[in-house]
Structure 1
Amino acid sequence: MANTDPSSVITALAGEIDGAVEWLKRSALPIWVDVGHDAETGGFFERINLDGTANRNDNRRARVQPRQVYCYAVGGDKDAPASWHAAATTAFAWFEQVYRRPDGFYGSLASPTGTMLDDSFDLYNQAFALFAMAQIAQTFPPRAREMEDKARALLAGLRATYAHPLGGFEEGDPVKLPLCSNPHMHLFEASLAWEAVAGDPAPWTALADEIARVALTRFIDANTGALREFFDHDWRPYPGDKGRIVEPGHQFEWAWLLARWSASRGDAAAMNAATRLFDIGARHGLCPSREVAIMGLFDDFTISDPVARLWPQTEWLKAAILLAKVGDPADREHYLDQALQATRALKKFLATKVTGLWFDKMRPDGNFIEEPAPASSFYHIVCAILEADTVLKRIQTR
């Protein structure tokens, strides 16, 4: 039930966020650099066991390395331990050495020792390479020009090789189906990050505007306002149940991104789309008994996957707190209450015996699956906690 006292909601939310920042800075970032960072190679392990020991034998996905680079670049201010920034720079060097292909794109999977096992192109991996480069440019100013040159070269390669004739990008060459909205979401995120730090933001502004347009006209269903995951080559819903998938976590994540883009462009239609996406996630994607965001719906908003994973909780939080700031002032209390609910949902996943780790999956019965904590979740956690902390402070100082 929504709390009707705005001041008490803000007080409770601030307490939850302060606790999350403390957990992040004192427990999570330390354990993932002390245990989760491979000092021998410079890269990051895929998982940490729930007893606090590294899971060393997993093959390493390309997407995990730049995500962890982001965590240690953004998570450490000037007073952070030197090991945090060292981990970011060595992991990025390992990523470049291991995954970069002769054509400038990045492969997909490597062994723990750095042997490429799968060099196939995945748009998702290129998006996170761009995102990590933007954060390195921001955190380490002497490397800003180097990172911008790398990023612009990668973007130019994507446009030359994989540009889709209707906007956005292909999934492969030759054409690979289905086309997906998810990697475009992360390209959107990377473009907004680069727009803020680039010496020449024009290419990134153009990319952000293109992806926003494709999202508003292709990814989002004109009748329901829901954002789909999978498409045919003409950006129509992919045939069968696959084309009907609507993920609550991605409704929230796109809401956050479109709200950011709308606020910077003054685009009312995008803000309306963002608030509708959030409403779909909140109305249909939350389990009332577990009080968490679930994984999947169909396009009629019936449940396709009742499992609750950690990452949708973080996107629920990010979208709610930002909409409380930039959305309709009449809805501010609603979004603050949603942010409070989201922080409490996330907190459930962080309640492991070894502080600084997390559970990834909650079953429909409310019990967590006992499995190693995946490094891939850390990017979601770090971004959500820091975003919530920053935005709430701005709300409080209005």
Structure 2
Amino acid sequence: MHRAIPFDEIHRWMFDTALPLWADVGFDGQTGTFAEKLAFSGKPIDTGFHRTRVTGRQTYVFAHAALMGWERGQDLAAAGARKLNAIYQGPEHGWPRTTNTAGDVIDGTPDLYDLAFTLFGFAWHYRASQDPESLASAHRALDFIELHMRAPVGFWHELPPSGWRLQNPHMHLLEASLVAFEASGDERFLKTAKQIVTLFRAHLFDGRTLAEYFDADWNRAPGDEGQLAEPGHQLEWAWILIQYGRLAGEDTLALAEALVGFAEAHGFDDRTGRVLQVVRSDGTIVDGGSRTWPNTERIKGHLALFEATGRDPRQAVATSARVLLDTYLATEVPGLWIDRFNADGLPEASDAPASTLYHVFLAFAEILRLRDAIEAIAD
């Protein structure tokens, strides 16, 4: 017997609680800025900074909500796109990591992670509105990435480069490039996506585990750091690779199967129904806690395999959806989240970071998108 997926409960959480809360309290119409985090009382917290990645993510959320019929989403997504354009520092400096409420630069470091979500936000706004300025801005974002962030292989994660090379910003650039390609049809974005998938095949994934940290030549970092794997990222890559395969006409199923297989075998706690935060490549648990986002990625990973193979996703999707709704999203003020539980199952969060809404909204939107197909599965 499979557990029932709570489709209606998911819809209510998205459209009756989370979206209104983050639109009313999580957005300042006077300054055009999105809150970085909300207190568990539902009030915004003044952090003194605004991350570009959060502006891009919230622009996405409201654009996607608009496409799903939530009328207020268009205006909020447009406000996010305007803010992204307002903090653009020109072709030599691009988008900063952080600004203050007035839009002045706090940290101007070019960061591939933030640039990926800049592209993501513009691409989703264009997808929802067909606003030509957002498409032009998506091209400006990729112009900057191509001109300044490109390395001999892959891209630099920041400028000047420091520390290990990272897979995660590349994953999000792949995700953003696919959205931009699907929205615009411009092969330029698909070309970028193909380059990142080539990097993934050649260096990031060994057929079993996805490493997080690499040296300058894309060898896994020496010692323990090179053996670390995040099950949530494996599941996230699986979903993105299936989307890539669909758009690029390439067979990525074996990659997705292997990514999900390792995450299920070594990164999922059957007792709690949660996805673990960090394990080693041999499956040893490094961080047995669990944030919200890896559990959303488990939903997406299984839904991607369902679309690719027809395999019944109901048990996995229902389990992770219930864990999210009953623990992470079960806050006194509806529409918030407890972003992390430790290995003992105790909450470790003092507020609700805005950056998490992107993960929850996208996973829940995928569940609703595939509702008819899932309900058509014969028992």
Per-residue deviation, 1:114: 2.8
Q: 1:281 corresponds to which letter in structure 2?
A: A
Structure 2 counterpart SS, 1:368 = coil
Structure 2 counterpart SS, 1:300 = coil
Q: What does 1:318-357 align with in structure 2 at a 5 Å threshold?
A: 318-327=300-309, 329=310, 332-333=311-312, 335-347=313-325, 348-357=327-336
State which of 198, 214, 226 in structure 2 corresponds to 1:243: 226
Per-residue deviation, 1:322: 1.9
Q: 1:256 corresponds to which letter in structure 2?
A: W
Kept in 1, the 8 Å contact 2:74–2:129? The answer is: no
1:77–1:174 Cα change, 3 Å: closer
Is 1:385 aligned with 2:375?
A: no
1:170–1:313 Cα change, 3 Å: same
Structure 2 counterpart SS, 1:63 = helix
- Residue aligning to 1:258: 241
1:100–1:383 Cα change, 3 Å: farther
Kept in 2, the 8 Å contact 1:123–1:171? The answer is: yes
Kept in 2, the 8 Å contact 1:104–1:154? The answer is: no
- Residue aligning to 1:35: 25
Per-residue deviation, 1:177: 3.2
Deviations 1:102-132 (A, max 9, x none): 5252111122343311001100011001001
Q: 1:94 corresponds to which letter in structure 2?
A: K
- Residue aligning to 1:114: 103
Percent identity of equivalent pairs: 30
Q: 1:342 corresponds to which letter in structure 2?
A: S
- Residue aligning to 1:367: 346
- Residue aligning to 1:54: 44
Kept in 1, the 8 Å contact 2:289–2:344? The answer is: no
Per-residue deviation, 1:76: 2.3
5+ long unaligned stretches in structure 2: none
Per-residue deviation, 1:86: 2.1
CA distance in 2, matches of 1:165, 1:180: 15
Q: What does 1:259-338 align with in structure 2 at a 5 Å threshold?
A: 259-268=242-251, 270-327=252-309, 329=310, 332-333=311-312, 335-338=313-316
1:379–1:86 Cα change, 3 Å: same
Structure 2 counterpart SS, 1:75 = helix
Per-residue deviation, 1:394: 3.3
CA distance in 2, matches of 1:34, 1:81: 14
Is 1:228 aligned with 2:211?
A: yes
1:362–1:111 Cα change, 3 Å: same
Per-residue deviation, 1:42: 0.7
1:57–1:124 Cα change, 3 Å: closer
Kept in 2, the 8 Å contact 1:43–1:95? The answer is: no
1:19–1:370 Cα change, 3 Å: same
Kept in 2, the 8 Å contact 1:69–1:92? The answer is: yes
CA distance in 1, matches of 2:182, 2:236: 19
Kept in 1, the 8 Å contact 2:85–2:137? The answer is: no
CA distance in 1, matches of 2:118, 2:281: 31
1:99–1:245 Cα change, 3 Å: farther
Q: 1:211 corresponds to which letter in structure 2?
A: I
Kept in 2, the 8 Å contact 1:321–1:392? The answer is: no
- Residue aligning to 1:176: 162
Structure 2 counterpart SS, 1:55 = coil
CA distance in 2, matches of 1:92, 1:368: 34
5+ long unaligned stretches in structure 1: none
Q: 1:371 corresponds to which letter in structure 2?
A: S
Q: 1:41 corresponds to which letter in structure 2?
A: T
1:363–1:386 Cα change, 3 Å: same
CA distance in 2, matches of 1:76, 1:118: 32
1:158–1:57 Cα change, 3 Å: closer
Deviations 1:55-90 (A, max 9, x none): 1244221111110111111112485343x3222222
Deviations 1:240-259 (A, max 9, x none): 22222100100000010112
State which of 36, 40, 65 in structure 2 corresponds to 1:75: 65
Q: 2:167 corresponds to which letter in structure 1?
A: S
1:191–1:79 Cα change, 3 Å: closer
Per-residue deviation, 1:174: 4.0
- Residue aligning to 1:188: 174
| Dislocated runs of 4+, deviation >4 Å | none
- Residue aligning to 2:193: 208
1:363–1:80 Cα change, 3 Å: same
CA distance in 2, matches of 1:297, 1:86: 42
Structure 2 counterpart SS, 1:297 = strand
Kept in 1, the 8 Å contact 2:111–2:159? The answer is: no
Structure 1 counterpart SS, 2:156 = coil
More off after superposition, 294-303 vs 244-253: 294-303
State which of 65, 74, 83 in structure 1 corresponds to 2:55: 65
Per-residue deviation, 1:343: 1.0
CA distance in 2, matches of 1:361, 1:96: 33
Kept in 1, the 8 Å contact 2:314–2:374? The answer is: no
How does the TM-score come out when normalised to structure 1? 0.89
Kept in 1, the 8 Å contact 2:182–2:247? The answer is: no
